[in-house]
Amino acid sequence: MQNQLSDQSSLYLRQHANQPVQWMPWTREAFELAKKLDKPILLSIGYSACHWCHVMSVESFEDSYIASIMNRHFVCIKVDREERPDVDQTYLDAVRMFNQTAGWPLNVFCLPDGSPFWGGTYFPKEDKGQEIVPWPQVLMRIAEHYKREKAELEENAKNVVSNLLHANNALSSNENEWTNELLLSSAKSICQSHDDLDGGFTPPPKFPSPMKIDFLLSIREAQSVRLNRKLMEKIDLSISTTLSKMASGGIYDQIGGGFFRYSMDAKWQVPHFEKMLYDNALLISTYSRAYQKFPDPSFKKVVEQTIGWLNHKMIDENGGYFSSVNADNDEGEGEYYFWTYPEIQEVLGEADANKFASAYEILKEGIFEGGKSLPVRPDKTGKEATSYEELEKKLLLNRENKIEPSKDRKKITSWNALLIRGLVDAARAFNRKDWLQNAINLNGWMTQKLISKEFDIYSILFENKRLSSFSFLDDYAFWAESLINLSSISDWVEEGSSSKFIHQAEQITLSGIQKFKDPQLCGFYFSKNENNDPAQVRKKFWYDNATPSANSSLLRVFSTLYEITKKESWLKEYKQALAGYPNLCRQAPQGIGHALASITEMEVGICSICCSKEQIDNILKKISKSPYRPIFVTISKDQKKDQIRLKIRGEFDEKMNSVNESIEKIFK
């Protein structure tokens, strides 16, 4: 018997449509039913590519006995976190307040009005000796407590909602407290947390950290860092070690390209196998920028191979890129990516199989159960990383015959915008006009399909072509930031297009300010007024998560628009937004890498070059061989063929200012 999810656009919701749990979608009707029946709400949030979401679904939500407990005692609501990131982020923050692990699946218990009073992530069906209470026991304990101690839960929920609202502005200020010393102290703090042996900035499980690395790449070009040899060397070590270890590890698909979501171990060898568009978009950008400073062939290979995978497997022939690839196929998690030695031998032959197995740690007895191994390249970087490409291609062609993991074919606006930024950075670093054209085409499709004439953005285009009526700050901020990045070199393939993309960025940003800006205090809300959840919590998000904080993106948008247009209104917006960050820098620099990178680029300086059509190819070749910094190259018909105009914009603090001659000498 179907529940109420069968007609939903979300693949994740439809995956639960035939379960015995009486799931309801996130609607006002669900909360009204909970109030009418005086039942607590069980809110379950996940996404289609999530391995542990599938595990809990099969173990518990498809079990008729457990479903009967859920149906008897709760109103059960299922949410796709990718469709409603506002709901997801709000309740993630709430679960963290309970000192619980916050991830997916996210299971939150709420009052009938949606106010959360307890929650956690994955709960097993039975006691597995992991000190996690089994799901049936959790359900019964919560149900009994609601009946006997409802007033206590109401008090808990009231405090949680109050804390959620307080967190919006807890560390922000309306005073101009910024000093560039905060950038240096933040860089030192981030580097101190770096694992110098295996890379990364946290203990396992390890997630890619593109925002942190982008910041380190940006501040590396500051004069004050170049004069501090110890800090400079630590920054270089942190960047190169983390990116090299990830590129050679199991978190990267060595055969087909693309990064998996995260690694369970310190050495990046054992991943969870979902592939997300946003991770790969961000890492294309980071590896491209890093290559300009550290021209490691393995970095180039990662970018080329990942863009190749996206354009082969993730692009829709009608435009746009799909959101994710499942961790599991019909045979289990990661089975699509494992190899046994006999399989390698059958495809490559005896001699090449031995060569490949030695380089990629494919053991004859296997590393995982069933004699299986996952190709990794421990301590094999640089030129060696590109020496097995023909063997990889043979294995990739053979892998095409396996059962592929399913894709979530919805197209998410903010994630596609991140890919525009990544493609532009890759085009700049590797002098690839085709990738820049790829970015321009993607923006053209988004402009045609995902935005109205009034600059209202649609957050999601589902596979069945239904547009999500919701939009979020990410959609506006990421798209505007990508348009600005696109404008920096778009004249290379479309002369005169730079001003067009800047104008579009301004229009989208102005629309976002109107919809999301807090009129009293600094910062922007994640959702519009009409998106409010029943708990009446309208959140601001300051910290980066899997994607950058949209408030951080707006810092770059405002500062760059000011430097390009010289409109004082953009400088005013930048200074107001900057007030949210001094205390965050002092207390939690690890969580605001994207903001730190945005501020650093403003303080170090944004460079513009005006040249003739005949000069632009040579200029961009020179830029690709120099460390990354924001440089805008435009063509002027009035420019003489033997001259260029170079300007480094902005008013700089002396301690942060890069030596202007370092840019000028590139073009002598």
Confidence (pLDDT) at 369: 87
Q: Which residues of the chain have pLDDT under 50?
A: 381-382, 650-660
Confidence (pLDDT) at 652: 41
- CB-CB contact of 44 with 19 (8 Å): no
Tokens for 69, please give them: 């407990």
Residue 29: which residues within 8 A CB-CB, separation 6 or more?
none
Confidence (pLDDT) at 460: 95
CA distance 600 to 630: 11
Q: What are phi and psi of 4, to 5 degrees?
A: -90, 15
Task: Give tens-digit pLDDT for 270-304.
Answer: 999 999 999 999 999 999 999 999 999 999 999 99
Confidence (pLDDT) at 532: 53
Q: Does domain 276-326+409-601 have CATH number 1.50.10.20?
A: yes
Confidence (pLDDT) at 644: 66
Same fold, 11-166 and 276-326+409-601: no
Residue 472: which residues within 8 A CB-CB, separation 6 or more?
85, 86, 414, 459, 526, 527, 531, 550
Residue 150: helix, strand or coil by DSSP?
helix
Confidence (pLDDT) at 646: 67
CA nearest to 309, candidates 253, 347, 243 = 253
Domain map (residue ranges) of the chain: 11-166, 276-326+409-601, 329-407, 608-667
Residue 402: helix, strand or coil by DSSP?
coil
> What pTM value is reported for the model?
0.93
Confidence (pLDDT) at 641: 62
CA nearest to 118, candidates 136, 106, 103, 104 = 106
**For the domain bounded by 11-166, which CATH number is listed?**
3.40.30.10
DSSP classification of residue 310: I
CA nearest to 324, candidates 54, 49, 81 = 49
- CB-CB contact of 481 with 442 (8 Å): no
Confidence (pLDDT) at 535: 60
Cβ count near 660 (within 10 Å): 15
